[in-house]
């Protein structure tokens, strides 16, 4: 089996419930969306969960991009345009100034180091004036960060807030902001106990970081396994 075919099968085998997937997107990405919602691109769309989320979020036109032909073909009826190319940067260069939002979820960690800055620069270049790039990557400081980094054979790296800020700004991004998850609070004993336990655990982790690396300018703002940031074209 080819590497592309193997990864396609890997995606399908790890496909979650659609309703839970949409809820997860809302928790992490609702706060990142711009007020202008004309045209959005799901870059590295995979099986299309991001496409469905963006359409449900009110974007008038939603497009997808992937390097895998069979994945793009499967999204053709769910998007306004399904783009495919084996040269993402060259394709992005043809889309300059086109999108109000580009979602790059679980993409940047798959890039080789020498490809990372040029690809992010190309993503920023495809934004319309006032547009926004949303990047989501594995969070290295999460307790499960190493597991997530090596849980997918195609991952090349994981990120901290410092390293992701560097990538976005070195690629020409401006106004970098980071976002934590916005969970819907449910008044149940189980939820309250879980929230209290997680808050205490995060407090312990912050204490460890302070004791081990007191020279750091900032302790991580959160320890969830996903790191989400936005940037505009500088």
What radius of gyration, in Å, describes the C-alpha atoms of the chain? 18
Element (DSSP H or E) covering residue 66: strand 61-66
Q: Which of 4, 156, 118 is nearest to 72 (CA)?
A: 4
Domain ranges for the chain, please list them: 3-182+221-233
Following CA atoms 137, 206, 217, 166 in sequence, which dihedral angle do they give, to the nearest 10 degrees? 0
Fold of 3-182+221-233: Rossmann fold (3.40.50)
pLDDT confidence of residue 202:
87
pTM comes to 0.86
Provide block-wise average pLDDT over 10 residues at a time, the chain (234 residues): 49 57 90 94 96 96 95 92 96 97 97 97 97 96 88 93 97 97 81 86 86 76 94 92
The vertex-114 CA angle with 176 and 49, nearest 5°, equals: 60
pLDDT confidence of residue 6:
47
pLDDT confidence of residue 161:
95
CA-CA distance, 145 to 79, in Å (whole number)?
33
How confident is the model over 95-116, as pLDDT tens digits?
A: 999 999 999 999 999 999 999 9
Residue 179 main-chain phi, psi, to 5 deg: -130, 135
């Amino acid at each position: 089996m080819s590497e592309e075919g193997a990864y396609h099968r890997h995606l399908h085998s790890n496909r979650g419930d659609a309703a839970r997937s949409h809820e997860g997107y809302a928790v992490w990405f609702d706060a990142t969306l711009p007020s202008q919602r004309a045209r959005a691109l799901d870059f590295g769309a995979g099986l299309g969960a991001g496409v469905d989320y963006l359409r449900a979020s009110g974007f008038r036109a939603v497009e997808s991009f992937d390097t895998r032909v069979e994945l793009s073909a499967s999204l053709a009826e769910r998007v306004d345009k399904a783009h495919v190319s084996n040269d993402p940067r060259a394709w992005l260069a043809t889309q300059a100034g086109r999108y109000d939002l580009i979602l790059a979820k679980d993409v940047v960690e798959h890039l080789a180091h020498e490809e990372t800055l040029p690809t992010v620069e190309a993503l920023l270049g495809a934004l319309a004036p006032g547009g926004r790039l949303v990047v989501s990557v594995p969070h290295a400081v999460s307790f499960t960060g190493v597991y997530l980094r090596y849980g997918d054979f195609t991952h090349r790296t994981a990120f901290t807030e410092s390293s992701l800020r560097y990538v976005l700004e070195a690629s020409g991004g401006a106004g970098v902001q980071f976002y934590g998850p916005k969970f819907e609070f449910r008044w149940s004993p189980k939820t309250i106990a879980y929230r209290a336990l997680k808050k205490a655990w995060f407090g312990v982790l912050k204490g460890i970081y302070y004791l081990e690396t007191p020279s750091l300018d900032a302790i991580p703002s959160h320890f969830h396994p996903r790191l989400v940031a936005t940037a505009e074209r500088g």
